[in-house]
Amino acid sequence: MTTEPTQLQPFVESFDPARSGLPGAGLGWLKALRKTGIERFEALGLPTPKLEAWKYTRLKPLEDTRYQPVTDEDGMAALNTVPSLLPDPGGRPRLVFVNGWMRPNFWIVGDLPDGVHLESLHDVLETRPDWIRERLGTLAGEDDSSLVQLNTAMMDTGFVLRVEDGVRVETPIEVIFVGGLTAHPVAYSPRNLIVLGKGAEATVVRYHVGLGAGAYFANSVTEIDVGPGALFRNYKVQAEALEATHIDTVRARVARDATYESFSLSIGGRLSRNEVSVRLEGEGAHCALNGAYLMRGSEHCDNTTQIDHLVPHTTSREVFKGVLDDESRAVFVGRIVVHKDAQKTDGYQLCKTLLLSTGAEIDVKPELEIYADDVKCSHGATTGQMDETALFYLRSRGVPEALARNLLVQSFIGEVLEEISDEDVRRAITDQVVHWLPAACYLAEEWRAE
């Protein structure tokens, strides 16, 4: 729990000078919220491996880098083309942030049906302060992690999506967070809020992408409230820059008969941690928490998830797959908690990792905590290297070794990509995986089509 004050100080010190310029500075309640945030952060300190939840991840970059607040220059960095994940947005809704700065000239909010409100955090704090006051911090509150507290204090950007009862958004909404292109290491703190009404449906794709060089620290928090019978798909691709530190906290609540589906692809960033917790609060609620991590160099990626089954008749499914090359390291902690009386829970979890290099390391902790008896829960975890027989099989058919290796990585990851139910997103994420593979020989369209 103890962190050297020297490591905490820069963050705490940057709070006072920054607070007047942060969104919603005129709102008393928000001021109080931010103040509590920074106090709680100071009390908790930066997480260290001494904490069980951080056993395998050390926030080294935060200890030895002095991040500065984002300036206009950083936020308005020239952007010739928007690094979009989904091809040709057409009428597809799209928000773009650069180092946390809103860049409305790139925004497309066009085709959204009535009853869908997609706005920046800034705007909502101005136009509907009472509405957001009731919701902000309800899922990621005072008792949450220290990095959530830091975000609460510093939140300087983000978006709010509100979908009214019964409204269905057919096309995925893409939210692009561009980092990098700064002269000094910078820190920014997106805070997103997503609220789906009864029977609503929506899909959001967050694309955290690094451009050029530059160290930065993105500390993002997203609160998601999925109403009764609603369906929310939360996809994320994290392709941060080589020197980036990416912390992404997601807190979701799923009501009766609602479904929360997520997929998180991690393919870049010096250090990344995706910390997701989902509370299944109503009978018939379901969540699918899936992801893949592909790491090389000395990248470190931590996926820490918790699913709380709070009431009877809820189901969860979780599949993660990882490929680690060079000296990279990944952590997967998956905790499933079945609370007292949450009978008829069905929980399934699988984590498989492929180690491509001797220097790579994987640490896995799949955890079941069960206080009800009429349940069906299981988890599985495997680690291993590439199947030499399969490799020989492909090569004996004439497939060159490098391509054969790529094919087998694709084959390995392919299983988890099938968990993505939105076809456009699946295709886009598949492309990202294919392009991660060693250059010069990856397969083209056919593999994707199958």
Distance CA 106, CA 79 (A): 10
DSSP string, 116-127: EEEEEHHHHHHH
Q: For other proteins, which residue of 358, 423, 439, 440 counts as binding (CB under 8 A)?
A: 358
Closest CB to other proteins among residues 86, 407 = 407
State the minimum distance, in angstroms, from the CB of residue 75 to other proteins.
41
In DSSP terms, which residues pair with 236 in a beta bridge? 206, 264
431 binds other proteins (CB under 8 A): no
269 binds other proteins (CB under 8 A): no
427 binds other proteins (CB under 8 A): no
388 binds other proteins (CB under 8 A): yes
Q: For other proteins, which residue of 73, 170, 415, 431 counts as binding (CB under 8 A)?
A: 415
Instruction: Region of 125 please: left (phi>0), alpha (psi -120 to 50) or beta.
Output: alpha
C-alpha of 382 from chain center: 23
Count of residues interacting with other proteins (CB under 8 A): 63
What is the token pair recorded at 29? Answer: 């309640």
Percentages (nearest 5) of helix, strand, coil residues in the chain: 25, 40, 35
Strands 329-338 and 361-370 come out as parallel
State the minimum distance, in angstroms, from the CB of residue 324 to other proteins.
8
Q: For other proteins, which residue of 133, 365, 426, 427 counts as binding (CB under 8 A)?
A: 365
13 binds other proteins (CB under 8 A): no
Q: For other proteins, which residue of 27, 368, 424, 438 counts as binding (CB under 8 A)?
A: 368
Closest CB to other proteins among residues 12, 403 = 403
State the minimum distance, in angstroms, from the CB of residue 335 to other proteins.
9
- According to DSSP, residue 54 is labeled G
Closest CB to other proteins among residues 170, 401 = 401
Alpha helix locations (H) across 45-93?
60-64, 72-75
Closest CB to other proteins among residues 176, 331 = 331
Exposure of 301 in the CB half-sphere (CA atoms within 13 A): 31
113 binds other proteins (CB under 8 A): no
389 binds other proteins (CB under 8 A): yes
The closest alpha carbon to 226, from 285, 167, 173, belongs to 285
239 binds other proteins (CB under 8 A): no
Distance CA 450, CA 447 (A): 5
- According to DSSP, residue 218 is labeled E
Closest CB to other proteins among residues 150, 265 = 265
12 binds other proteins (CB under 8 A): no
Distance CA 271, CA 208 (A): 13
Q: For other proteins, which residue of 43, 384, 431, 435 counts as binding (CB under 8 A)?
A: 384
- According to DSSP, residue 23 is labeled T
From 14-22, 37-45, 133-141, 386-394, give the range in contact with other proteins by CB under 8 A: 386-394
From 106-114, 153-161, 166-174, 381-389, give the range in contact with other proteins by CB under 8 A: 381-389
State the minimum distance, in angstroms, from the CB of residue 361 to other proteins.
5
109 binds other proteins (CB under 8 A): no
Q: For other proteins, which residue of 9, 127, 138, 382 counts as binding (CB under 8 A)?
A: 382
The closest alpha carbon to 160, from 222, 70, 202, belongs to 222
Handedness of CA 94, 187, 334, 144 (dihedral sign): negative
Q: For other proteins, which residue of 126, 201, 363, 424 counts as binding (CB under 8 A)?
A: 363
Closest CB to other proteins among residues 9, 385 = 385
What does the chain come to in residues?
450
Handedness of CA 58, 61, 63, 67 (dihedral sign): negative
Measured CA angle at 49 (ends 48, 50), to 5 deg: 85
Closest CB to other proteins among residues 182, 345 = 345
Distance CA 354, CA 312 (A): 36
Helix (H/G/I), strand (E/B), else coil: 410: helix
83 binds other proteins (CB under 8 A): no
State the minimum distance, in angstroms, from the CB of residue 382 to other proteins.
5
Q: For other proteins, which residue of 5, 83, 378, 435 counts as binding (CB under 8 A)?
A: 378
72 binds other proteins (CB under 8 A): no
- How far CA 373 is from CA of 44, 312, 314, 370, in Å, comes to 36, 11, 14, 8
The closest alpha carbon to 318, from 310, 328, 308, belongs to 308
Distance CA 406, CA 433 (A): 10
From 79-87, 151-159, 192-200, 440-448, give the range in contact with other proteins by CB under 8 A: 440-448
State the minimum distance, in angstroms, from the CB of residue 294 to other proteins.
15
Residues near other proteins, by CB under 8 A: 52, 340-341, 343, 353, 355-358, 360-385, 387-390, 392-401, 403-404, 407-408, 410-415, 443, 446-447, 450
